[in-house]
Chains A and B, each alone.
Chain A
Amino acid sequence: MHSITKRFPGVIALSNVDLNLYPGEVHALVGENGSGKSTLCKCLYGFIQPDEGTIEIDGSVKEIRTPTSALQLGIAAITQELTLAQTLSVTENLLMGRLPRGRLGIDWKKAHALARVALDQIGANIDEHSRVSSLSVELQQEVEIARAISTQSRVLIFDEATSSLSEDATARLLSKIEQLRSQGVAIVFVTHRLKEVFSCAQRATVLRDGELVAVVKMSQTNESDLINKMVGRTMTDLYGKRRIAVGKPLLEVRNLSTPDGKIKNVSFHVRRGEILGVSGLVGSGKIQLGKALFGAVPATGEVTLDGRRIVLGSPSNGLCAGIGFVPDDRKNCALLMTRNIRHNLSLPWMKTDGFTHFGLVKRKTEAALAGKCVERFRVHAPSIESPVVNLSGGNQQKLVLSRCFATNPCLVVLAEPTRGIDVGAKSEIYGFIQDLAEKSAGIIMISSELPELLGLTDRILVFYQGELCSEFDPRTSGEEDIAHAACTGRALRARARELASQMEKC
């Protein structure tokens, strides 16, 4: 790809970026959010067209107009957003457009066998007969990966494909990538997890604000060097230091359950100024816990906040009680993508006295609120009137956070607050969370990223199949302890004690 340039309204997403791919190479694309990684990938697999620049394959210039023509040229992509037909079976999705034909229509036996082969290739433990909608997001992502790999393309693009995968599935995928590489496939690998980059890539292209910063050989660089190149400054302390002690109990949860059985009899407490981490595998009920506390899903149990009992099951009750909630899916649950920043930020204030006057929104108050949010949270946007769609992921997430924090909540539930955003924005968000904790609010941070839980929180709860299985002190435990508890439902140390007692008996 030569000097690719792409402009979006108000922003140059890519300017004169080159990218060379060689067969048998894993090439990582790294950079902060909004640096243009995904845009570059989209140009390569024909989802969007570059405004300037050319794409050459085997020395001849090709114009890639659609993802279909990219496929014909041997370029397949796996993206963060799932593109599966939810109501069809796994087999039908895997072989979409190329189901084998028998004498009487489709040869299902052969189709299922082919699908099995494709799934086995990446070691995915999925029944090929099941409907896609019955699978978790993680498994759906695996189906998507299997589909792309089974097209036997010469160029494979993994655009944040691992962001919803568990550690185990990621490891399987990385070994598969290694195998494909040895078969001569060129692979573009986009991720925010630098560890993965170092474990699989040979070279990396670093992008910053749509410009090419460096192309480095992985053998000649290290993690902090790469981060420096990405952000253009040194990251000293990503998580920041706590300056105050944890205070009195704020939230008391007793026997919280949801009728769908995703949470069963959970009891815990949160103190003022405390950041409580919640960990667990995909589908362990950790996200559901946040939704249940806020009232986004029906739930039963006894929840008291600051001594007052909370009526569960309604988001407006949650808001009134002083709970702030940042959902894990900002596109589908948090933001009004068709509206501008101002309209998004004033959304929770519509029933507040002082914000409206005889049912009419006070314009000055609204603009002041939006301006303050944007300024305090350093949202990069042309103005408060610009549409939310045009913002990068990190800025959108900052917007969601600022909206939540602006209501002065005494308890904040954050579900995956840093999913799919860059290191710079992450660090800023950690700072905002620390600030809020200092104002003696309680914070529940639900996250799949263990490093941030260990670095930021005061206590970590681990969920396993809807139940609270163990509690960790981040100062004395490591990633393995938590990962083990999340996978097995038992704490590593408890297991060690078990073994020890068995030894004694012997």
Chain B
Amino acid sequence: MYLTGAARRWVGEKSLRSSSLFQKASLGRLGGVIIGLVLVCVYLSFSNPLFLTWGNILNIFRAQSVIFILAIGMTFVILCGMLDLSVASATGVASMVLGMSMRAGCGALPACILAIVTGVGLGFINGFLIGIVRISWFVTTLATLSIYASVILVITHGSTISLFTFDRFKSIQYLANNDIGPMPIILLIIGLLYLICAVVLHRAAFGRAVYAVGSNPEAARLNGINVPVTVMIVYTIAGLTCGIGAIQQVGRLTAAVPITDPNQMLAVIAAVLIGGMSLKGGEGGVTGTFLGSLFLGIIQNGITLQGISAYWQGTVTGLILIMAAGLAVLRESELRHRIRRALRAVFR
């Protein structure tokens, strides 16, 4: 094997060994959100003694639980280089189905299954239109955002279905709000979902297909990956998380609300992007999504603890999103080199 000077230096002796753990963690991508998390946590724990109590930490997870769940689906979609703008509306429809079926006398389990099936169905519609019919994801999900939101109003005539009076609703409420030992049940469920998601993305053939489609759809196609079907499944997964998210949402609100919150969609997308994922697709993972969702949750919690008006929340989320995107630019461009060079010049 012939190697010239620099090439030998580059290849090194241990050329073909697997890389170190540090490399795998790819702190470059997660660096921003981790530093942000640490800074905010340090600030909040010093300025407010309540922040670092176990109860408050669990509160953060509970309040952010729906975003945590929806962000999993969005991770798959963004990995494909697309977005799902209809998440909040689809979650709304699924929660309405849950509410209405319970009011009509369904038990908790069948109602939950119905809600999940609804979510999957709505996601499938998105996926079919985008993957198979090949309408652009933007048009499709923008349209379904509007359609799903209006469907809720049509089927409920705009009225809230409150469920806390129903006995059979108690089990859902229990799942959403109560603890096993020190851990909230929902946190365990979220942890399980993230674990499954991580395994699917990093170990399963399907996960590889998702990354391939996001990275280079033509290369994926030429290597035997069915791109349309992959896209369809990805949106169906997003729908599935909407179904699961809907159950948690209803469980927490103890009612199915006919008005969808437009900020929810933004928060879900923001969580994923803050986690260091690129809108171009093909890069990133579920760890970033988890940290991004957590970060948004802590910010929200901090705003409440500090007694700042909740009206500021959108502004803060938006600013963080811009900062995260700015970090991504810094990561990808020459700018980082330039800053490093400038710093060197200063300290010399």
B226–chain A nearest beta-carbon distance, Å:
7
State which of B3, B9, B11, B224 has its C-beta within 8 Å of the C-beta of A319: B224
Q: Which B residues are CB-close (under 8 A) to A347?
A: 208, 212, 219-220, 223, 225
Interface size class of A (residues with CB under 8 A): 35 or more
* CB-defined contacts of A360 to chain B, threshold 8 Å: 199, 203-205
Q: What is the CB-to-nearest-CB distance from B195 to chain A, in angstroms, rounded to a whole number?
A: 14
Given A51-B337, A346-B208, A367-B18, residue A337 in contact with residue B215 (CB < 8 A): yes
Query: Residue A359 contacts which of B10, B204, B223 (CB distance < 8 angstroms)?
Result: B204
Residue from A10, A320, A351, A375 whose CB has the most chain B CB atoms within 10 Å: A351
A378 touches which one: B1, B208, B278, B283 (CB < 8 A)?
Answer: B1
A338 vs chain B, min Cβ distance (A) = 4
- Decide yes or no whether A38 CB sits under 8 A from chain B: no
Inter-chain contacts of B18 with A (CB < 8 A): 367, 383-385
The total of chain B residues at the interface (CB under 8 A) is 47
B10 in contact with A11 (CB, 8 Å): yes
The one of B2, B4, B211, B226 in contact with A336, judged by C-beta atoms closer than 8 angstroms, is B211
> B7 at the A/B interface (Cβ < 8 Å)?
yes
How far in angstroms is the closest Cβ of chain B from A382? 7
Q: Nearest chain B CB to A334's CB is how many angstroms away?
A: 5
Q: Is the CB of A336 within 8 A of B10?
A: no
CB-defined contacts of B338 to chain A, threshold 8 Å: 49
Instruction: Answer yes or no: B167 CB below 8 A from chain A CBs.
Output: no
Query: Bound complex: CA of A12 vs CA of B5, how far in Å?
Result: 11
Whether the pair A385, B24 counts as a contact (CB closer than 8 A) is: yes
Kindly list chain B residues whose C-beta atoms are within 8 Å of the C-beta of A356. 204-205
Contact of B341 among A49, A343, A351, A403 (CB under 8 A): A49
Q: Counting CB contacts under 8 A, is A195 at the interface? A: no
Q: In the complex the two chains form, is A334's CB within 8 Å of B205's CB?
A: no
Tell me which residues across on chain B come within 8 A of A384, comparing CB atoms. Answer: 16, 18
Check B231 for interface membership: any CB of A closer than 8 A. no
Residues of the A chain whose Cβ atoms lie less than 8 Å from the Cβ of B157: none
Q: A350-B225, A381-B15 are in contact. Are A339 and B211 (CB under 8 A)?
A: yes
Interface locus among A96-104, A145-153, A163-171, A204-212: A204-212
Are A382's CB and B219's CB within 8 A?
A: no
> How far is A346 from B205 in the complex, measured between Cα atoms in Å?
10
Q: Is the CB of B16 within 8 A of A374?
A: yes
Contact with B along A168-209 (1 / 0, CB 8 A): 000000000000000000000000000000000000000011
A–B Cβ pairs within 8 angstroms, 22 of them: A12-B9, A49-B338, A233-B2, A296-B222, A316-B224, A327-B222, A332-B218, A333-B219, A336-B219, A337-B215, A338-B215, A346-B208, A348-B224, A351-B224, A359-B205, A363-B203, A367-B18, A381-B11, A383-B14, A383-B15, A384-B16, A385-B19
Known: A48-B334, A327-B222, A338-B278; 7 extra A-B contacts, CB below 8 A, are A320-B224, A346-B208, A350-B223, A351-B205, A360-B205, A382-B12, A384-B16
- Is the Cβ of B23 less than 8 Å from the Cβ of A337? no
What A residues does B14 contact at CB under 8 A? 383
| A209-B216 in contact (CB<8A) | no
B16 contacts A334, C-beta separation under 8 Å: no
> Would A49 and B224 be within 8 Å (CB), given that A209-B7, A335-B219, A361-B203 are in contact?
no
Contact among A208, A316, A350 for B209, CB-based, below 8 A = A350
Contact between A380 and B7 (Cβ–Cβ < 8 Å)?
A: yes
Q: Is the beta-carbon distance between A49 and B334 smaller than 8 angstroms?
A: yes
Is B282 on the interface with A (CB-CB < 8 A)? yes
Tell whether A464 is near chain B: CB-to-CB under 8 Å: no
Looking at the assembled complex, report how far the CB atom of B201 sits from the nearest CB atom of chain A, in whole angstroms: 11
**Is A325 in contact with B222, judged by CB distance below 8 angstroms?**
yes
- List B residues 210-250 near A (Cβ within 8 Å): 211-212, 214-216, 218-226
| Assembled-state Cα–Cα distance A384/B225 (Å) | 22
Contact of A386 among B19, B205, B214, B283 (CB under 8 A): B19
Residue from A10, A294, A319, A350 in contact with B208 in the complex, judged by beta carbons closer than 8 Å:
A350
In the assembled complex, which residues on chain B have CB atoms less than 8 Å from the CB atom of A10? Answer: 10
Q: For the complex, is A261 an interface residue (Cβ under 8 Å from B)? A: no
The closest CB in chain A to the CB of B12 belongs to A382
Q: Which of A295-350 contact B (CB under 8 A)?
A: 296, 315-316, 319-320, 325, 327, 332-339, 343, 346-348, 350
What 1/0 flags go to B125-137 for Cβ under 8 Å of A?
A: 0000000000000
A371 within 8 A of B: yes
Collect the chain B residues with CB atoms within 8 Å of residue A451's CB: none
- Asked whether B346 is an interface residue with its Cβ less than 8 Å from the other chain, the reply is no
Q: State which of B219, B224, B337 has its C-beta within 8 Å of the C-beta of A334.
A: B219
**B4 contacts which chain A residues (CB < 8 A)?**
208-209, 232
- Those of B241-283 within 8 Å (CB) of chain A: 278, 282-283
Of the candidates A339, A343, A382, the one whose C-beta lies within 8 Å of that of B15 is: A382
Question: B6 within 8 Å of A by Cβ?
Answer: yes
Q: Which residues of B contact A382 (CB under 8 A)?
A: 10-12, 15, 19
**B348 contacts A by Cβ under 8 Å:** no
Nearest chain A CB to B280 CB, angstrom units: 8
Identify which of A49, A338, A361 gathers the most chain B CB atoms within 10 Å of its CB.
A338
A336-B224 contact, Cβ under 8 Å, with A347-B219, A383-B15, A386-B19? no
